[in-house]
């Protein structure tokens, strides 16, 4: 009888240990902590200019990342015609608390208007610094000056993005319109803004950098 009692106790203890082990080793369910919220902060290139909101860069990038298994939401904070000065002025109220990262895409209108590159640099630098102070990660989307602005302007403007990315240790996507500029099939009739095909090309090229950005955010 004593042996039988010991055996029952042993089996009960084994069952409890197995149950505990099963709980400990069960797959961790996805929680809200796994979700990442990004803001696409930019100008008309971000703001789905002359397109449906669902066809714009933030919506299409979000869809592409979700298809690849990422729990991500991308808020469109693009304003057509915005310059870096305008972006700096609206930065705080356009990017609410709780945002994990910002895709910062501004500067194209500065170049088109021939604004001083040093002012563009100053504004972008202020935005990056302010976002980092708030604990918000930054992915800098670069822009290139139009060739008709002259070699001197082009050299000064094009250096802004890689130099700021290096200074503040933020990831850089060198040219936001890569694969689209100069290709009529990718542009609206104005020859400047991407059409739906252009947006899809931009997203396809941008996804690898965006995935690295998400990994960095989660690692922090």
Judge whether 31 counts as a catalytic residue. no
Q: Which DSSP string do the residues of the chain spell out, in sequence order?
A: -HHHHHHHHHHHHHHHHHHHHHHHHSPPPP-GGG-EEEEEEESTTTTTTTS-GGGSHHHHHHHHHHHTT--EEEEEEE-TT--HHHHHHHHHHHS-TT--EEEEE--HHHHHTT--HHHHHHHHHHHHHHHHHTT-EEEEE-----GGG-HHHHHHHHTHHHHHHHHHT--EES-TTTTTTT-GGGB-TTSSSB-HHHHHHHHHHHHHHHHHHHHHHHH-
Please state, in angstroms and rounded to a whole number, the distance separating the CA atoms of residues 39 and 122: 21
169 part of the active site: no
- Annotated catalytic residue within 97, 169, 185, 190: 190
At 50, list the tokens.
């002359």
Closest CA to 119 of 87, 151, 166: 87
CA angle 71, 214, 129 (to 5 degrees): 130
Query: Which one of 11, 31, 44, 71 is the catalytic residue?
Result: 44
Indicate which residue of 43, 70, 100, 193 is catalytic. Answer: 193
Which sequence positions are flagged as catalytic? 44, 190, 193
């Amino acid at each position: 009888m004593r042996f039988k009692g010991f055996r029952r106790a042993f089996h009960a203890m084994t069952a409890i240990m197995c149950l505990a082990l099963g709980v400990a080793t069960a797959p961790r369910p996805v929680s809200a902590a796994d979700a990442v919220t990004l803001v696409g902060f930019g100008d008309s290139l971000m703001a789905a200019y002359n397109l449906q909101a669902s066809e714009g860069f933030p919506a299409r990038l979000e869809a592409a990342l979700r298809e690849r298994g990422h729990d991500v939401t991308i808020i469109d904070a693009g304003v057509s015609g915005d310059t870096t000065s305008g972006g700096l002025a609206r930065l705080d109220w356009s990017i609410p608390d709780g945002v994990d990262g910002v895709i910062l895409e501004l500067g194209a209108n500065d170049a088109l208007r021939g604004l001083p590159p040093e002012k563009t640099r100053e504004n972008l630098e202020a935005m990056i610094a302010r976002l980092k102070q708030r604990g918000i990660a930054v992915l800098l989307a670069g822009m290139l000056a139009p060739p008709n602005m002259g070699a001197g302007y082009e050299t000064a403007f094009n250096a802004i993005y890689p130099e700021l990315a290096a200074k503040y240790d933020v990831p850089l996507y060198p040219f936001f319109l890569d694969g689209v500029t100069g290709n009529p099939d990718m542009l609206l009739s104005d020859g400047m803004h991407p059409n739906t095909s252009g947006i899809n090309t931009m997203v396809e090229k941008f996804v690898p950098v965006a995935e690295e950005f998400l990994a960095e955010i989660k690692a922090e």
